[in-house]
Amino acid sequence: MIQGLAKKLGEERLALLAQIFRFGLTGGLLTIMVAAAYWAVAEFFDIDPLISMTLVYLTFTGVGYLLHSRFSFKGHGERDNMGVRTTRFFIVNTLGFASNQFFVWLLTHYLDGPTWWPVIPIIFVTPILTFTLNRKWVFG
């Protein structure tokens, strides 16, 4: 059955679907943990939301690299230059952090909304950006 499905979809598309599934598992878990940690630190410790997001970024970046390099994108692309791949991952992760910081600033500072507002784009927008860049540029 799997071989028939592989032929029907094509190996490349099947690999993409597998990556999306694995990224959905690890990235989804990480995204929920980041969003929850951001909100909890900002809300319960009364820390400025921008500082909260910074602390969360620093905490989860290394975990994200290990999970994505060893699970989400395993077997994808060239694996011979770990230094380049690691640098690119941190660049992409920093872009994700910058987009999250923008959402936090816009929704909590500029629009003076509650600390939970940025959780929505953190969960639904940033992962699309980071998946695409990780697949094409970091692990491609």
Ramachandran angles phi, psi of 2, nearest 5°: -65, -40
Confirm if 108 and 67 have CB atoms less than 8 A apart. no
Q: Tell me what pLDDT residue 18 has.
A: 80
Q: Which residues of the chain have pLDDT under 70?
A: 1-9, 75-80
Q: Tell me what pLDDT residue 133 has.
A: 92
Location of structure tokens 């943990």: 33
Number of residues assigned to the chain? 140
Q: Tell me what pLDDT residue 89 has.
A: 87
Q: Tell me what pLDDT residue 91 has.
A: 95
Tell me the whole-structure pTM to 2 decimals.
0.78
Please give the full DSSP string across the chain, using - where no structure is assigned.
-HHHHHHHH-HHHHHHHHHHHHHHHHHHHHHHHHHHHHHHHHHHS---HHHHHHHHHHHHHHHHHHHIIIIITTT-S--S-HHHHHHHHHHHHHHHHHHHHHHHIIIIIIS---TTTTHHHHHHTHHHHHHHHIIIII--
Percent of the chain with pLDDT over 90: 51
